[in-house]
Amino acid sequence: QVQLVESGGGLVQAGGSLRLSCAASGRTFNIYSMAWFRQAPGKEREFVSAIFLNNGYTYSADSVKGRFIISRENAKNTINLDMNSLKPDDTAVYYCAAGFTYLPTALPLMNEYDYWGQGTQVTVSS
């Protein structure tokens, strides 16, 4: 089993920045990919950004490209999401996910991830 714990959410004004972190523990040696998804009230969960842990390859949704940066700290089994130029539309619960896929085309797909965190709230005020 793998446990994921997110941190770093909070309230920020539009145009501001936040950093989310996700720490993985347990049987992490087989984990190949990690990602961030988000779910706004009344909406479906959507893909935000993902990373391959071995080579640092990243892929992000068009809605966050140029504003959000995903990174990894392999020594700490941690990924981060640096969110800049935040907008009210970014308000959501952000979830960390981990899985075994090694296909770039599979990174945005929720069903490719076997482990999920509890989520952290991000609220952007206008």
Tens-digit pLDDT string for the chain (126 aa): 999 999 999 999 999 999 999 999 999 888 999 999 999 999 999 999 999 999 999 999 999 999 999 999 988 889 999 999 999 999 999 999 999 999 999 999 999 999 999 999 999 999
The structure tokens 């909406």 sit at 43
Q: How many C-beta atoms surround the C-beta of residue 110 within 10 A?
A: 15
Q: Give the pLDDT of residue 74.
A: 81
String of DSSP letters for 25-75: EES-TT--EEEEEEE-TTS--EEEEEEETTT--EEE-TTTTTTEEEEEEGG
Return the pLDDT at 25: 95
For residue 18, which phi and psi values (nearest 5 degrees)? Answer: -145, 155
Q: What pLDDT shows up at residue 81? A: 98
